[in-house]
Amino acid sequence: MSTVWLVEARRHLGPFAAAITVGGLLGAARLLFTPVTFDVFFQLFSMLAWTVLAGYAFSVVYGYFFLGRDVFLHLGHRSPARATALKMAVQIAYLFMLFCWLLVFNALWMAHVGTDEMPVVLTYYVTARVASLACFAAVVLAIIAVVKRIHGKTVALISALVMYAVVTGGHAYLMWWMTHRGDTTWALGIASDFPVVNQYANILPMMIGSPTGTYADSVSPTSIALNVAVAVLGCGVWIAMTRRARLNFYRR
C-alpha cells in the first residue's frame, strides 16, 4: 500500500470513524431494547450519515480537482486525474466500510425478528451497494471534469450540484419506470411498513415493492444493472474529459 494512500486515508478517518461509532451504539441499542424508537433512530441515523458523508466525499474530490486544494498531492508525481481518482477511491472505501458495519446490525436485526430470506437479501444488499458506490464515484468524477472548464467558482459549484441532481433524479425515475407494477408502491428512504429491500439510484435509496410481498420479492437486479451502466458511462466521460484537454490545476 502506497504512502500516499495511507496519508489520504488517515486524513479523512475522523468523520467516518465518528459515524461508525455512533452507528454501532445505535445498532446495539436497537438489538438490546425492544421499543420501536431505537429502530427509527438507527434508520434515521443511517440515512443522515450517508447523506452527510457522501457530501463530504464530493467536497473532498471537488476541492482537489476544481479548487486546487491539497498541495501535497499536487506536488507529487501522479497526474491530477490519477490523484483525484485516488482521493475518490479512499472515500468510496470508507463509505463501503460504513455500509458493511451498519449491515452487520441490520443482519442481526433480521435474525432477531426472524426471517429465512437473509442469505438472498444480504447478497443483494452487498452487490447493490457496490454498484451504487461505483455509480456515485463515476458520476461525481464525470461532473467535476465537465465543470472544470467553468471559471467562476460559485457558478461551477451550482452547476455541479444541479447536474448531479438531474442525473440522479433521471436515474431514479428510469429505475421506477422499469421496475414498478400495478401492485407496487414506492418511496424514497430506508424504512417501510412492509417487507422490502432498498434499491439504489446512484446512492439514493428507494423502496419499490408490494405490501403483500416479501424481502426477496423486492430484490431488483434492474437497479444493479442501471447503476453499472451509469458507472460505465460516467467513467467514459471522465476519461475523455481528462485525457483530451489541457486543464489548469492551480489553486483557485
Assign 191 a pLDDT band (cuts: 50, 70, 90).
low
The answer to whether residue 250 is domain-embedded is no
The answer to whether residue 28 is domain-embedded is yes
pLDDT for 193 equals 58
pTM value is: 0.87
- pLDDT tens for 105-115 read 888 877 765 56
The answer to whether residue 10 is domain-embedded is yes
Range of the domain at 74: 3-243
pLDDT for 90 equals 93
The answer to whether residue 46 is domain-embedded is yes
Q: How many domains does the chain have?
A: 1
The answer to whether residue 249 is domain-embedded is no
Task: Look at the block and give the residue holding cell 461509532.
Answer: 21
